[in-house]
Structure formats: structure tokens, C-alpha cells
Amino acid sequence: MFIHTFSSDMKKQLDFLIQGVKNIKEVGALTRSGPILCKKMISPVPSDKDVIVVELGAGDGVITRHLLKKITPNSKVISIELNEKLYIKLNSIDDQRLHAFNDTIENLDKILLDLGIEKIDYLVSAIPFLIMDNDFVSAFLNKYKTYIKPNGAFTQVHYAIKRKFYEEIFGNAKVHFVPANVPPAVVIESKIV
Ligand SMILES: C[S@@+](CC[C@H](N)C(=O)[O-])C[C@H]1O[C@@H](n2cnc3c(N)ncnc32)[C@H](O)[C@@H]1O
């Protein structure tokens, strides 16, 4: 049992590494988020209240699985992943609360419209915003922060600190270090007031 879980995790890590090496500019990392980082990314999401969570850059679903373990039976997770190989793994998660899309975050509006969703509770992002155009990221987040209900939150994983950038957009940004991750990571958390 232990050996099976270990080798299945190694396989997922290896598959992710292959996609990272092939498409580093798109994937933005060579390793998937470790368990401590995944838990930190979803720490604002409650386990006792129905919520709608949008997850950007879901990869093979490593954070998604943690989310699905945590949320209530009537909650929803909308996960978007651009890389087709990673999306196939994401979409193999058998859970009716998950709505997975092989698409770019630029189509988020249409995805939510098709699902009949106007407001969300949490926005969880692993998109490599650091290597994307600042003006695009700023316009994107300024738009979608208005979709998040009051008392909700935005979380973003990074491998460098960029607190001020998020503070200017959301009005607040807390930095959580996750030194135990490989490589050490930072989670930015902004509350919606
Ligand atoms: C750093 S990886 C994170 C993967 C996984 N969530 C994790 O935490 O290990 C970033 C992911 O964002 C995806 N991505 C990059 N640009 C995207 C875009 N414009 N739309 C959707 N997904 C994108 C990449 O393909 C990659 O899987």
C-alpha cells in the first residue's frame, strides 16, 4: 500500500517534470506543489460551508484533490488548466463537485457564464504570474477580484515575494512562507472586504 502510493506519487511528479521541462514558460515550475503548500493554498477555504472555488493553473490536480477533500458535499470547484497532458490527469478525478476545463484563464468569463456562476467565494491561483506580462496580470486580477464575494479570499503561490503588487490590487496581502516545500515557496493571501 505504502509502496504503491509512493510510486504513484513519484510517477505524478515525473510526469509533471516532463511537462515543466517541455513547456517551462507555460507551466512555470518543475515540481508540483507539495502537501504542506497545497494545504496553505486552501487554508482560507472553510470545510463547514458550501462554497464555490475557482482554481487557476490546476496542473494535474494536486491542489484540487486537497480542495475536494476539504469542502462540503454541495460545494463546487471550477479548475482551469491550459496544458492538455496535465488537464487529462486533472479531469480523471472522479468527483461531481469538480468542473475541469482545458482552457486558458483568459476565457474565465465565458466558463463562469456557461456554468451560470456570477459570484465566487475563493480564487486559488498557481498561474506563473511572475513570468507573465504585469499589465495583463494586473488587469486580470482587478477584473476577477470583483467576482469574489465579501469575506472570500484570493491565494497565489509564488517562488518569489511580490507582496506589494497584490497589495495594490486587493488592498491587503499577507505573505506565508512555506520553507518545507521543494523548492521553498510563498503563498500570498488577500482578503476580500
Ligand atoms: C506552477 S504550475 C502549478 C500546477 C499545480 N497547481 C501545482 O500547484 O503543482 C502552473 C500551472 O498553470 C498552468 N497555466 C499556465 N498558464 C495558464 C493559462 N493562461 N491558463 C490556464 N492555465 C495556465 C500551467 O500549465 C501549469 O500547469
* φ and ψ of 187, to 5 deg: -110, 125
In ligand 1, the atom with minimum distance to the C-alpha of 86 is 27
Q: Best mutation site among 42, 79, 127 for ligand 1, i.e. most ligand atoms within 8 A of its Cβ?
A: 127
* Number of residues in the chain: 193
Handedness of CA 133, 186, 12, 70 (dihedral sign): negative
Smallest CA separation from ligand 1 atom 8, residue = 33
Domain 2-191 has CATH 3.40.190.10: no
Average pLDDT value for residue range 23-50: 92
Percentage of the chain with pLDDT > 90? 82
- State whether the beta carbon of 66 lies less than 6 angstroms from ligand 1: no
* Amino acid 1: pLDDT: 61
**Nearest alpha carbon to residue 19 among 65, 84, 64:** 84
22 — pLDDT class (breaks 50, 70, 90): confident
**Per-residue pLDDT for 168 more than 80?**
yes
Name the one residue in this structure whose C-alpha cell is 458550501: 50
pTM above 0.75, yes or no: yes
**Residue 112: its pLDDT value, please?**
98
116-166 pLDDT tens trace: 999 999 999 999 999 999 999 999 999 999 999 999 999 999 988 889 999
In the DSSP assignment, the letter for residue 76 is: E
Contacts of residue 65, defined as CB under 8 A and 6 or more positions apart, other chains included, come to 38, 93
Which has the higher per-residue pLDDT, 92 or 6? 92
> Would the CB of 158 count as within 6 Å of ligand 1?
no
Contact (Cβ atoms closer than 8 angstroms) between residue 76 and residue 99? yes
20 CB within 6 A, ligand 1? no
